[in-house]
Structures are given as structure tokens and as C-alpha cells.
Amino acid sequence: MTSPTSVDPFAGQPVSLPSKAFPTRTHNPTRAKPRRKALVKFVYDKSGSMDELDRPVVQCSHEAVDECARDNIELRSGLLFVRDIPENGANEGLVDRGIVAIDEFKKLIASEPLIGNSSDDESQLDGLLRAALTDWPDVKSGRVKHVILVTNSGTKNATDGTTPEQAVDVFLRQGVRVHIIGPANVDAYKLLTGRTGGLLFPIPPITKDYFTSIFQTLGKTVTATMAK
């Protein structure tokens, strides 16, 4: 009797599975282990044109934290800031990039503590890649499966020349889903979310209720993927 096979999406070749049948276990609610929390990273574009988004995002952050807690999502450490150099090349007003280490999303958005000092001309794609590839010191590698970008502008290639198409391969290897709250007409964002199984939320009128509904939807999505 031949053993079943499954296709490895990265190697493209059939992979043999053990022919031994797995034992069936009866579910016992009293012995069920607590569900592990999902870790989510946010990439928040802090360029000047994002100022109009700050208030509704901060306003909805309390609701977002509560909603995510109900859905067993842990939002902590890892809001990543990206900032583009103005077209005139001036450094005035640039926000340093870096990864923050703070436990609550509402505090993290409001206080914006930063680590690092760089004026590199970064794109939103740089932030997404760094968020997907950077591990937290106390978290097992591979735990982060969702990266969420909040931006009101399009993106370009990463500073090392990586294209959105190439970035998709990185996200697939890492098993990361990319979700974007941003312009829905940007082809790169359609590609990044579509190929990785993420969600793309357009930015219509910027309101607290709209952002709250987005985080509620993301919470349900992340929880659903944990059950698979």
C-alpha cells in the first residue's frame, strides 16, 4: 500500500507522509490546554502625510486592544516605524525608524517610543520585510504569522532593490500573512495581500468607528488561522 503524498509549496515536489495511521483521541474539555496567543506585528507609516490618521488610530486603539484580547491575540513589542525622506532631500522632521518594545498597542501608538537612528529612504515594503524577518528575543522563531501595515500612500521597491513580487516569496517562506490598511488601488498592495492570504482595507473617510471595525475583522481572521 503506497503512502499518501502532499505537495511542498516551496520545493514543488511531492513529499512522502508516514503510512502509519495517527491514533484518534477523544476531546476532553477538562484537559484542554489553553490556546496559545497569536503574535501580530504592526508597521505604521509615520511620514508627514499620515498625521491625519494618527487621531482616529489612537482613538480606536482602546477598542482594538479589548477586541484583540477577546480574540486571544497578543499585541505587544514590534510596532515598526517607516519614514521616507522628503523629495527635496531635507532631513528636517524625519522620524527615526526602529522597533519599539512596549506591551500595549494603545500606549505604543500614543507615545511613539523609538529605537534606532537612521535617515535611510525607506519604503513601506522595507518595513513589512523587517517586521516579518525580525524575531523578538523571548519569542520562538516563526511565531509571528501576521504583519499589518497602516499607510495612506503607495510603496516602492525596498532599499536593497527587493520588489513586491520578490517580497511575496519571503513572506510565503516565513508563513506570514500581510494585511494592509491603505490605498486599495495600489497594485503592489493587491499583490502582497492576495498572494499571502491577507486582507486589504481601503481608507475612505477616516473615522474611529471604521478603524475599530477593521481591527475587529483582523481579530477574527487571526483567530481563525490559529485554529487551522
pLDDT tens digits, one per residue of 200-222: 999 877 777 787 778 778 777 77
Q: How many angstroms separate the CA atoms of 34 and 36, rounded?
A: 6
pLDDT at 68 exceeding the cut of 50: yes
Buried b (16+ CB within 10 A) or exposed e, 44-68: bbbbeebeebeebbebbbebbbebb
pLDDT at 101 exceeding the cut of 50: no
Q: 92 falls in which pLDDT band (50, 70, 90)?
A: very low
Higher-confidence residue: 23 or 149? Answer: 149
Q: 71 falls in which pLDDT band (50, 70, 90)?
A: low
The pLDDT tens digits of the residues spanning 153-172 come to: 888 888 789 999 999 999 99
Give the domain ranges of the chain: 38-226
Q: How many angstroms separate the CA atoms of 56 and 50, rounded?
A: 11
Contacts of 190-194 spanning 24+ positions with Cβ under 8 A: 191/164, 191/165, 192/128, 192/164, 192/167, 192/168
Q: Residue for cell digits 495511521?
A: 21
Q: How many angstroms separate the CA atoms of 121 and 85, rounded?
A: 5
Q: Which CATH superfamily is domain 38-226 in?
A: von Willebrand factor, type A domain (3.40.50.410)
pLDDT at 65 exceeding the cut of 90: no
Higher-confidence residue: 177 or 133? Answer: 177
**What one-character DSSP code corresponds to residue 33?**
P
What are phi and psi for residue 27, nearest 5 degrees? Answer: -70, 130
